[in-house]
Each structure stands twice: as C-alpha cells, then as structure tokens.
Structure 1
Amino acid sequence: MVIIRPIQLSDYDALHRIAIESGHGFTSLPVNEELLTQRINRAEESFNKDVKAPGNEGYLFVMEDTETGEVVGTSGIEAAVGLDDAFYHYHLGKVVHSSRELNIYNTVETLSLCNDYTGASEICTLYLSQSHRKNNNGRFLSRMRFLFIAEHLERFSQTVIAEMRGVSDDNGRSPFWNWLEEHFFSMDFPTADYLTGIGKKVFIAELMPKHPIYVNLLSKDAQQVINKVHEKTVPALRLLEAEGFCRRGYVDIFDGGPTVEAQVNSIKSVNESHKCQVLIGEVTSDDNYIICNTNVANFRAVQAPLLLRETANQAVISLATANALNVTEGDWIRLIQN
C-alpha cells in the first residue's frame, strides 16, 4: 500500500534524491542541504501550528510505499505566497497602436511584471518517482491536496494557483530565458532558477525590465514557448484543468510557463468530496477512492476501495485501510472517488 503523510526530518535523504531526480525548472526543491532542511522544518512547524487564517505556512507531503518504507513522491501546498518575499509573474496584455489618418491598426501583446497573486494559496512541488507512476498514484498525489484544503479551509486563501513548468531542454536551457539573459541578466536559466529556489530573489527586481516588454520584439523561439508547458507537465496540467483550473494570462518570469488558478469553491475535488463516519468491516467493492483522515499533524491519505452507506453518512473500510489512516470505528474521514 502507498500512503501520503506529512514530511519528517528523517525523510531528508529521500527529499534530496527527489530534488536531484526532478531536474531543472523544479524551483521549489533546490539541491541545497540547508534549504531542503529548512523546507522540512517549516513543514513540520506548519502541520503543528494552530491556524485561524492563511499565513506563511508551507505544507509538504510525501508518498511512502509501506511495503518497502521508501518515499517515492512528494507534493505541497503554500498557504499564502508572497507575504515575505515578492512573488513575481508576467501578465500578458495588449497595447493598440493605431492611426486613423493612415488607416493602420495594430494590436501588440505585452508582458508586464506584477505581483498580482500575492496572498494566494499555491499547490506545488509535485513529483512522483518513475517506479510508482502507475495505479493512479499521480492523480492520488495531486488530488489529495484538495481534500486537505477542503477539510481545513481556514488555512488557505480563496484563490488557489499552480505554476506549470515551462519549456526547457534536457540541459535546462529555456528559449524564453535565453532572450532575457542576452538583454538583461547575463546569467543562465539554471543559475537564475537555483537562486530563486534558495530565496535570493532580489536580483529579479534589480535586473528585470521595469516597463512592459513587447512580445513581438522577443526572439521567435521565445515567443513560441510563452504560455506553453513542458512536455512532461502536460498530464499535470490536464488534471488541474479537469479540477476547474484555468489560465488568466499569467506566466512564469523565467521559462514563460503558464500559471493556472481556481477559486476554492469551484475546485471539483473540494466540492465533490464529503465526510463519512468509519465502519470497519469486509469490503467487496472494487470502486477506488481517495480517503484521508481529518487530522493535520497526523494527516494520512490512501487509495482504497470502500462501501458507502450514503443514507447513514457512513463508509465501510477494511481494517488495513483504517490502520493506514490511523482511524478507528466512529472516526470521520473525507473521501472522493478516484
């Protein structure tokens, strides 16, 4: 069985391995011992904190294969971005240049630096090892975050975003960044990406062009990848779109990848998940559900079959599932069909 639980300091080696495996463009997990340790410590503090409104909390979960004890994936939620460090995006806009006398009318796309998503919650840091990309584990690792949000709404903003990885090659070269590097930054994409990941963002404000950039002045290669996702990110984008996330014209300042957003009350897994009381017994159904307990510090989530007794607001789960969730008969669980 695979379970999802809050990260612990003892998971450091696994998180370091995941940071290496995830490669360039995975800004939220820099390959840096101090920063990874801080990320774990902050997550432990967040899970144990009494929260009435979203603040600087960061929740990081790991997927563990209970048969081997191996950590095989991770996913996270930032409660409110940009409260300590500026949170930058480009916003795609339009400028019209026209002359009635000359009968000329041209619409030009622009990129304007902004901090519009300050205070929004962000789902992030989703990575699953190749060995476990099966049995709907990827969907499970992504969607369980929405059950956690639904159960603990006071901890999160009404707006939830996700930054999707933009186009880059195997060496971490981004066509979008190449143009910015040539004209403004004089540093390569992996370096800029790493500096952002370790929290050194002041160079963005210092070096980024202060005025809107005309898209048609960018290189053709750069123009073609604006608002496009990395080929390996397409499944994650489709899953979020199915949840109700959509694009609002915001793109990443480094690789031009899209940021998608949704209001909490419009997210499918938040709306369609519901709570039931636990009954422990034999389960003959093959219907697979994502199930989580209602705890924060002792949060657990699994994929498992169950029997719904909807009129009584009860769910029958096996003893093994109950043990994995750390629940007993009469406790409450939240669930959604996977």
Structure 2
Amino acid sequence: MMIIRPVQQEDLAAISALAAKTGVGVTSLPSNDERLAARIERVLKTWRDEVTQAEQGYLFILEDTEQKKVVGISAIEVAVGRTEPWYNYRVGTLVHASKELNVYTQMPTLFLSNDHTGYSELCTLFLDPDYRHSKNGQLLSKARFLFMAAFQERFADKIIAEMRGFSDEAGRSPFWESLGRHFFSIDFSEADYLTGIGQKSFIAELMPKHPLYVDFLSPEARAAIGQVHPHTAPARAILESEGMKYEGYVDIFDAGPTLEAYVSDLRAVKQSRVWPVMIDDQAKPTNNTTYLLANDKFRDYRALLAQVAFTETAICLPGSVAAALGITEGDTIWAVTLFAEEKH
C-alpha cells in the first residue's frame, strides 16, 4: 500500500538517496545530509509547536508499506521570506513614448520582487522514477491539500509553488546563461546548490535592483521565461488542475513559473468533505472513482488513495484502509475525488 505520512528522523538516509536523483533545479532538496537533517529537525519541531511561524514547515513522505521503502517526498512551507528575503522576478511592462516623434513602444521587463513574502509554499516535490505510475504522483502532491483543508488556520491565505525552470540535458539553463552568469560568474548548478543549502545572501549582494529589459536576453532565454523543465510538466499540470495559476512571477535563476492561488479556492479544499467512518470489509465501492482520503490527526497525519463505498451519512472503509489511516469506526476522515471531473 502507498501511504503519505509525516517525516521521521530515521528517514534521513532515504531522503538523501532521493535527493541524489533530483538533478539540477530542485533547490529545496539539496544533496547535503547536514542540511537535510536540519530541515527534518525543523519540521519535527513544527509538528511539536516548538518554532515560530516564520520557521514552520511540513515534510511528507510517500512510503511503499509492502517494501518498507521511502519513494517520494513533498512539503509545505508556512510563511516564506520571513527569515530571509524571498526573491523572484515579476514579468511586467515599461512604456516608452514620445508624442513629438510619434513613437510608442511597450517593453517586456523583469522587476526584482519580494511580493510573495509571507505566503505559504508548496515545495520539495520529488517521486522516485521507479514509482512514477499508478497515480503515485497525484497522491504525493495532492495529499498536502487535504492537510491544509484540515488545518487551514496554520497557513497563509495564499499558497505558491515555484516550478523548476527549463534546462537542457546537460543541466544548462539558457536563462541563467543569458542573465545570471553576467552577475554571478558561476555555473547554474553551483548557484542552484548554494540556494538549496540556504546561502542566499549573494542574491541580494549581486543581483541588479533595476528593471531588466527582456529584449536584451538571448532568444533561448526569452523562450524559457515561464516554462518548466520537461520532467516538471506533470507536476505543473496537477497543480493547475487544482486551481493554481501562473500570474507572471518567475524564478530569478531559471525563469521557471511560480503558480499561486488562495488556499480556500483550491479544488481539493473546496470539494473535500468530512465523513464519519464505518468499517465494512464486504462493502463494494459506490463507483469506479478514486478518492483521496486523509485522517484529521495533526501529528499522525496519514493519506492514501482508495475506491470506497458511501451511505447517505458515512463512508465505508475496509479494515485494511482504516488501519493504514490510523482510525477506527466512528472517527471522521477527509475525502475528495482525486480528479476534478469526478464528484460524489
């Protein structure tokens, strides 16, 4: 069975193995055991209510319980930019006009921005390539939405997700080569790694503060603005299907798009419902719809996918599913259809 659960300290080695498979561009999952261990400790303190809101974050594990193997990871940061500046580019327009010369031009421009400071963030999504099937990616991504639905008071009103930007098979980012390299004189992979381990001060020290004209960039760099890495396209599609949108903000290194939405507007949050549980091993699924199910236990959160039966007042679960969720008859769980086109 595939199940989502909170991270544990003993997951460090497995997470480190996943980090080694990510490649360039996943800045929030660096291949650095010291940094990963510190993050695990920080999120465990979050679940114990031992850190301030500015430091809070949640890290979820996708586990193959039959193999007892960690195969995926996803996360939520509660309030970005509160402990260190949060940078991105806002894609905007500057107008140049002269009535006397009868000249009027609109120039696409990149403005350095901290506009998302204080927002919550979906991040650190990575699934082992061997498990990219059977809706595992959907479970890994969307389980966070039911967690936010159950505990909305712990998050900002708006949520963002920075998508990995376009780079080629060699890890070369055309946006970085056309822009960032001129100011940092280091390879994209090195800048990406430094950001991932928290050394972000160099951004403020070296990045130009004035607007940058997009037309000055190479054609390849211009084409990369707002585009995702091919491996990230499925993750973007999942988030967009839940109501997140690109609103013109991109990463300052690779120009990957930032998606955003109000938490209350997310499809899985709006359509999810709390159901009392009946345990019945004989109950047949009401239909062929796959449901995302989650308990409402903060420190012992669990989520999984299942086809289930409903009565007018309850959800009927097999004993194995109830046990995996850590619930008994009479408890309540959150349920929502996995896909937007399906409704119960």
Task: Give the 5 Å matches for 1:146-295.
Answer: 146-282=145-281, 283-285=283-285, 286-295=288-297
Task: Give the 5 Å matches for 1:42-81.
Answer: 42-49=42-49, 54-81=53-80
Runs of 4+ that moved beyond 6 A: none
**1:17 corresponding residue in structure 2:** 17
Among all aligned residue pairs of Structure 1 and Structure 2, give the percentage whose two residues are the same amino acid. Answer: 48
**2:335 corresponding residue in structure 1:** 335
- Secondary structure (helix, strand or coil) at the match of 1:22 reads coil
- Of the candidates 308, 312, 317, which is equivalent to residue 306 of structure 1? 308
Q: Which amino acid aligns with 2:32?
A: N
- Secondary structure (helix, strand or coil) at the match of 1:271 reads helix
* 1:254-309 C-alpha deviation (Å, 9 max, x unpaired): 00010010001110000001101111002311432111110111111111121122
The CA distance in 2 between the partners of 1:181 and 1:30, in whole Å, is: 20
The CA distance in 2 between the partners of 1:188 and 1:11, in whole Å, is: 31
- Secondary structure (helix, strand or coil) at the match of 1:43 reads helix
The CA distance in 2 between the partners of 1:182 and 1:13, in whole Å, is: 34
The CA distance in 2 between the partners of 1:147 and 1:182, in whole Å, is: 40
User: Which sits farther off after the overlay, 167-176 or 271-280?
Assistant: 167-176
**2:342 corresponding residue in structure 1:** none
Q: Which amino acid aligns with 2:161?
A: A
* 1:69-109 C-alpha deviation (Å, 9 max, x unpaired): 00010110001111101110000110111112222111001
Shift of residue 180, structure 1, vs aligned partner:
2.4
- Are residues 1:3 and 2:3 paired? yes
Question: How many pairs were matched up?
Answer: 335
* 1:161-191 C-alpha deviation (Å, 9 max, x unpaired): 0001100122321111112244211011111
Shift of residue 253, structure 1, vs aligned partner:
0.4
The CA distance in 2 between the partners of 1:227 and 1:118, in whole Å, is: 20
Whether the 8 Å CA contact 2:62–2:70 is kept in 1: the answer is yes
Q: Which amino acid aligns with 1:179?
A: S
The CA distance in 2 between the partners of 1:224 and 1:231, in whole Å, is: 14
**2:35 corresponding residue in structure 1:** 35
- Are residues 1:85 and 2:84 paired? yes
User: Which sits farther off after the overlay, 266-275 or 170-179?
Assistant: 170-179
Q: Which amino acid aligns with 1:94?
A: T
Whether the 8 Å CA contact 2:293–2:334 is kept in 1: the answer is yes
* 1:45-81 C-alpha deviation (Å, 9 max, x unpaired): 1122279x95421100000001010001011000111
Whether the 8 Å CA contact 1:147–1:269 is kept in 2: the answer is yes
- Secondary structure (helix, strand or coil) at the match of 1:193 reads helix
TM-score w.r.t. length of structure 1: 0.96
Task: Give the 5 Å matches for 1:81-120.
Answer: 81-120=80-119
* 1:286-337 C-alpha deviation (Å, 9 max, x unpaired): 432111110111111111121122x32x111000001100101111100111
Q: Which amino acid aligns with 1:117?
A: H
Q: Which runs of 5+ in 1 are unaligned?
A: none
Whether the 8 Å CA contact 2:42–2:55 is kept in 1: the answer is no
Shift of residue 222, structure 1, vs aligned partner:
1.1
Q: Which amino acid aligns with 1:40?
A: I
Whether the 8 Å CA contact 1:307–1:316 is kept in 2: the answer is yes
The CA distance in 1 between the partners of 2:182 and 2:129, in whole Å, is: 38
Whether the 8 Å CA contact 1:6–1:47 is kept in 2: the answer is no
Whether the 8 Å CA contact 2:47–2:299 is kept in 1: the answer is yes
**1:26 corresponding residue in structure 2:** 26
The CA distance in 1 between the partners of 2:247 and 2:2, in whole Å, is: 35
User: Which sits farther off after the overlay, 170-179 or 210-219?
Assistant: 170-179
- Secondary structure (helix, strand or coil) at the match of 1:140 reads helix
- Secondary structure (helix, strand or coil) at the match of 2:55 reads coil
Q: Which runs of 5+ in 2 are unaligned?
A: 339-344
Whether the 8 Å CA contact 1:54–1:157 is kept in 2: the answer is no
Whether the 8 Å CA contact 1:308–1:315 is kept in 2: the answer is yes
Q: Which amino acid aligns with 2:197?
A: I
Whether the 8 Å CA contact 1:48–1:296 is kept in 2: the answer is no
Q: CA RMSD in A?
A: 1.3
Whether the 8 Å CA contact 2:164–2:228 is kept in 1: the answer is yes
Whether the 8 Å CA contact 1:57–1:79 is kept in 2: the answer is yes
The CA distance in 1 between the partners of 2:302 and 2:215, in whole Å, is: 49
- Secondary structure (helix, strand or coil) at the match of 1:86 reads coil
Q: 1:322 to 1:71 in 2, by over 3 A?
A: same
User: Which sits farther off after the overlay, 239-248 or 63-72?
Assistant: 239-248
* 1:23-62 C-alpha deviation (Å, 9 max, x unpaired): 11000011111101011111211122279x9542110000
